[in-house]
Amino acid sequence: IIYGARDITAYLRSNDVTRFLSSGAGPGSPTSGSSVFSAASQADWAAKRLVWVPSEKHGFESASIREERGDEVEVELTDSQRKLTLSREEVQRMNPPRFSKVEDMADLTCLNEASVLHNLRERYYSGLIYTYSGLFCVVVNPYKNLPIYTESIVEMYRGKKRHEMPPHIYAISEAAYRSMLQGRDHLSPLTPGIWSWKTENTKKVIQYLAHVASSHRAELWAGTRNLYRCVTKIKQHIRRWRAF
């Protein structure tokens, strides 16, 4: 089950992709005790008054408020039951369980650094590398090839509005393409990030736009693959040039 995300099984006709996205088997596996909401109900969350507190090892970890004294808060760590006294500024509110793995982080009730990082992490470990943040699409590099960029997946996003499908760079590409056709305006997708990942995202955008804009899909799909090979070779040469 993918919590907080629309059921995408109906959209995915490929058995491999369906199993991948619905099994929760993502690019890695979370460390022990990281799934805060796996067994917590809404009532349990409210009773424990769960919050996020700083952690040297994990960045942030969950804790429950035991006592509040002026500008200080006494908390008990969820995993170790160790008690800490922190300033109010160090404690960040935790979202209710219903927001676990939410597709758009703009929908979070508690929008803070810890909640954003936790949501991205939980989605990443479920194989969901794309997450919306308002108008933007956040991508976490999986460092492996995922079966979510095939021609059949392109067709699933074709003609769909952004909210009708799970977060994907194809959804962003489709929105840009439709906006261009309707408004007759020039558009430029912005792909910030590290150099190599920007190239990968750009290739995915080109792949999608080339497919939906052509009637000769089979020929164009093969041509797009050839374009990827050329881009890969260019990248290899650039790395050699940078070495000098």
Summarize the confidence of residues 105-130 as an average pLDDT.
94
| 84 contacts 105 by C-beta, under 8 angstroms | no
Domain with CATH 3.40.850.10 in the chain: 15-26+117-243
Pick the CATH number of 42-97 from 3.40.50.1820, 3.60.150.10, 3.40.190.10, 2.30.30.360: 2.30.30.360
Percent helix, strand, coil in the chain, to 5, is 45, 15, 40
pLDDT digits (tens, 9 = 90+) for 180-219: 888 776 666 666 665 566 778 888 988 898 888 875 555 5
Domain with CATH 2.30.30.360 in the chain: 42-97
pLDDT digits (tens, 9 = 90+) for 147-163: 999 999 999 999 999 99
Pick the CATH number of 15-26+117-243 from 3.40.50.620, 3.50.50.60, 3.40.850.10, 3.40.50.740: 3.40.850.10
Predicted confidence (pLDDT) at residue 127 exceeds the cutoff of 60: yes
End-to-end CA distance of the chain: 50
DSSP summary character for residue 83: E
Helices (H), 56-190: 113-124, 151-157, 169-183
pLDDT at 98: 87
pLDDT digits (tens, 9 = 90+) for 159-188: 999 999 999 999 999 998 888 888 776 666
Indicate the pTM of the whole model. Answer: 0.71
CA dihedral of residues 102, 105, 106, 111 (deg, nearest 10):
110
